[in-house]
Structure 1
Amino acid sequence: MKRIVLCLLAVLTLSQMLISCSSQTKTASNGEIFVMNTVVTQKVYGKNRDKAILNVNNCLKEMEKELSMYIPESYISKINQNAGLTPVKVNSYTFDLIQTTQKYCERSNGVFDITIAPITKLWGITSQNPKVPTQDQINELLPLIDYRNIKLDSKSQTVMLKEKGMAIDLGGIAKGYINDLIKSEYDKLNISSALISIGGNIYAYHTKPDNTLFTLGIRDPKGSSNDMVGKLKVKDKIVATSGAYERFFEQDGKVYHHILDSKTGYPAESDLLSATVVSENGGLADFLSTTVFISGKKQMKQYLNQSEFSVIIIDKEKNVYVSDNLKDSFELTNSNYKLSESK
């Protein structure tokens, strides 16, 4: 009898453990923080979910200290302050990020250029006091915009800007690139699944607790923040979106958005409303969403069907173009838009 009771107790204990584990896996913790000049939200499942949220938040704060051009002590600020003067030694993460980004700039033929910082500061679109600069002010700074004048020394791990007055702005890629670090934190703590939003970048880590894919809304660029064009199902992907609706200001009846054209020094006059890129590579997705948006419809075809990434592109005529490998994952839900094929 005693042996039977012990067996029953063991079974009950194991059942309680399984129920407890299942509960921990299916219960989410939510986190929100303002960092890197944007709101970051996390929804994390797993036993160590609270610790994961804390670790990721701390990681984001640390990256901001290293990569923000608005923090005087950051590596980026030191590089900018020493432009045309002397190389600046940085840590391996910052060096790798700048090196990778320079290659992306070259890949885009300068459409995406991280040395656009002087123009970014001139407009101040994300600041408290944005303003439309004069043409003379823009013309004075345009010669400083050239990613090829970033001098990298891998042996000494230094970065130098060739011309005085040059400056780097990593705002168009850092939020996506950092997803590799976030994945590492989730992996280390055996997180079962998570969804994190960093501004225009969303990372779907694994599947939901019920093993189904995460469903993300693709925003209606002409609507409010709650209006959607369609739904996208994803797992283990970063989804990065760029659009003129994200950050802007109005002056004398004209709207000026934050995505600047490195060739003109003005907000990009794109014939697209938004460009969404889906990839396992966060830096690539972030860089490409900006590049595709600025490049517009004339360059769209080269981005539609690639193995490295997928896209959802919305033009000003409310046509929606979707990569072939996303067509089973994307559902158009807004009757004001229509699915179209690139000609």
Structure 2
Amino acid sequence: MKHSLNILLLSLFITLSLHAEEMLSRTRMLMGTYATVTLPAQHNRQISESFSLIAKIEHALSTFDENATLARLNDEHTVPYDPVLAEALTLSYSYYEETDGYFDVTIGSITKDLYRFGTERPQSPSKTALKHAKRNIDGFHVGKKHITSDEGIVIDLGGMGKGYAVDKTAQWLNEQNITQSIVGLSGDIRCLHTCELYLQSPFHEGMFAKVTAKILNLSISTSGTYHRYATRPEEHHLIDPKTATQGKAFVSVTLFTKADNARIDAYATAVSVMPKKKALAFLKEHKEIGYVLVEPDGNIIKGNLEPLVGCVPTHLHKH
């Protein structure tokens, strides 16, 4: 049988192929979104423990919980060493280098301080404020006893944190010898077993593609301009850290790879703000990553999909 699970309200619907085994899905609000874990029904306890693990990661990486380690770092600029935050920052630094600076977690000076994305009162900053917002990937420092950041540096791990949490949860489930599972956090999904994916249109509520996984431990990450914006739709949250302006080449980016959600979460964020030519060159260099890119006119650009998932359409109707 196939067990259908509505993982996301915005990006993906997933069906998990699990033969005749009864599955159990549970959902909680974690990391600012819907976290859903699906396991064989006898593993209800492991679902609860998965949520506990995600909550611990949230307590390290959140900027909304004032007691979270990252929130305190942004406020006080020094915190005791936290292994989760340390690893996430170290990974983020490598993603910055790999994406030629298009993934920059010090974008928080813009996303958190100026636009105030994710709060009850987002705002529209001036061009002058955006121009002078401080970004510097060398502005944080991971030591053996403390993690510190420079004055003016605000770190936002929203571009990789959910993928990181999915990776850690999937790793823990594998250690429990559980091989049939879905872990989902917003647009970041890990299918430990084979699954079918339904990609949601960035223009309306319907689905525009059904793709079937060809591998186990498939990682999926979707990033879209339609997810979150400040006071106007054009003020979406995907911002080029080099120019402090919104990405315009794509309205939706979906990436696929094997067992590496944190990386493709960061890469999806970076590709979303790159110029089109740069984005395509970047993805063509990474043969291990399949991609489905939707342009503002509904044109679909896809590549590297054959080893990972089945094909998708070449055009998407906007209405």
Fold similarity call, TM over 0.5: yes
Q: Deviations over 1:85-137 (max 9, x none)?
A: xx432222221211111111122222111011121121123221112112232
Give the conservation status (yes or no) of the 8 Å contact 1:233–1:329.
Answer: yes
Match of 1:9 in 2: none
Are 1:198 and 2:182 matched, yes or no?
Answer: no
Unaligned runs of 5+ in 1: 1-22, 207-212, 338-343
Q: Does residue 317 of structure 1 match 2:304?
A: no
In structure 2, the residue matched to 1:245 is 226
**Structure 1 equivalent of residue 109 of structure 2:** 118
d(CA) in 2 for partners of 1:110, 1:277? 19
Structure 1 residue 25 displacement after superposition: 6.8
> C-alpha displacement at 1:188, in angstroms?
3.5
TM-score (norm 1): 0.79
Q: Secondary structure, in 3 states, of the residue corresponding to 2:58?
A: helix
Q: Per-residue CA shift, 1:123-178, capped at 9, x if unaligned? A: 1232211121122322332xx2111222233xx2432213x121111111011012
Contact 1:65 1:74 (8 Å CA) reproduced: yes
Which residue of structure 2 aligns with residue 271 of structure 1?
249
Partner of 2:282: 302
Structure number with greater CO (CA < 8 Å, separation at least 6) is: 2
CA contact (8 A) 2:39 2:180 kept: yes
Following the alignment from structure 1 to structure 2, what is the Cα–Cα distance between the partners of residues 265 and 182? 33
- Cα distance in 1, alignment partners of residues 156 and 276 from structure 2: 26
Cα distance change, pair 336–119 in 1 and its aligned pair in 2 (3 A): closer
Instruction: Name the structure 2 match of 1:136.
Output: 128
Distance 2:53 2:213 in 1: 27
Using a 3 Å threshold, how does the CA distance of structure 1 residues 336 and 117 change in structure 2: closer, same or farther? closer
C-alpha change, 1:101 and 1:130, in structure 2 (3 Å) is same
Deviation at 1:193, TM superposition (A): 0.8
The answer to whether the 8 A contact 2:221-2:254 is kept is yes
Work out the number of aligned pairs and report it: 296
Within 5 A, what are the aligned runs for 1:1-343? 26-45=21-40, 47-48=42-43, 50-83=44-77, 87-121=78-112, 122-141=114-133, 144-153=134-143, 156-162=144-150, 164-206=151-193, 213-224=194-205, 226-234=206-214, 235-251=216-232, 255-266=234-245, 268-279=246-257, 280-299=259-278, 300-304=280-284, 306-326=286-306, 329-332=309-312, 336=316
Counterpart for residue 12 of structure 2: none
Q: What are the superposed Cα offsets for residues 231-272 of structure 1, whole Å, 9 maximum, x if unpaired?
A: 242531110011101122444xx5321112212333x23211
Select the structure of larger CA radius of gyration.
Answer: 1
Distance 1:330 1:319, change over 3 A: farther
- Give the SS at the match of 1:197: strand
SS at match of 2:117: coil
Deviation at 1:43, TM superposition (A): 2.0
Range with bigger deviation, 131-140 or 316-325: 316-325
TM-score with structure 2 length normalisation? 0.84
Change (3 A) 1:111 1:336: closer
Give the aligned partner of residue 12 of structure 1: none
Asked if the contact 1:45/1:193 (under 8 Å) is kept, the reply is yes
Q: For 1:96, what is the secondary structure of its paired residue?
A: helix
Check conservation: 2:37, 2:50, Cα contact below 8 A.
Answer: no
Asked if 2 retains the 8 angstrom alpha-carbon contact of 1:25 and 1:47, the reply is no
Q: Is the 8 A contact 2:59 2:65 kept in 1?
A: yes
Q: 1:190 to 1:24 in 2, by over 3 A?
A: farther
Contact 1:46/1:191 (<8 A) preserved: no
**Structure 2 contact 73–148 (Cα < 8 Å) conserved:** yes
CA distance in 2, matches of 1:335, 1:102: 35
Kindly tell me: are residues 74 and 158 of structure 1, through their superposed partners in 2, closer, same or farther at Cα, counting changes over 3 Å? same
8 Å CA contact 2:107–2:154 kept in 1: the answer is: yes
CA distance in 1, matches of 2:147, 2:87: 11
SS of the residue corresponding to residue 162 of structure 2 reads helix
> Residue 140 and residue 335 in structure 1: after superposition, are their counterparts in 2 closer, same or farther (change >3 A)?
closer
Distance 1:335 1:264, change over 3 A: closer
Contact 1:111 / 1:295 at 8 angstroms: preserved in 2? yes
**Residues 147 and 66 of structure 1: CA distance in aligned 2, closer, same or farther (over 3 Å):** same
Report which of the two has the higher share of helix. Answer: 1
Q: Distance in 2 between the 1:131 and 1:91 partners?
A: 32
Please say if residues 117 and 169 of structure 1, whose CA atoms lie closer than 8 Å, have aligned partners that are also in contact.
Answer: yes
Distance in 1 (CA, whole Å) between partners of 2:110 and 2:83 is 27
Q: Identity rate of aligned residues, in percent?
A: 20
Name segments (4+ residues, structure 1) moved above 4 Å: none
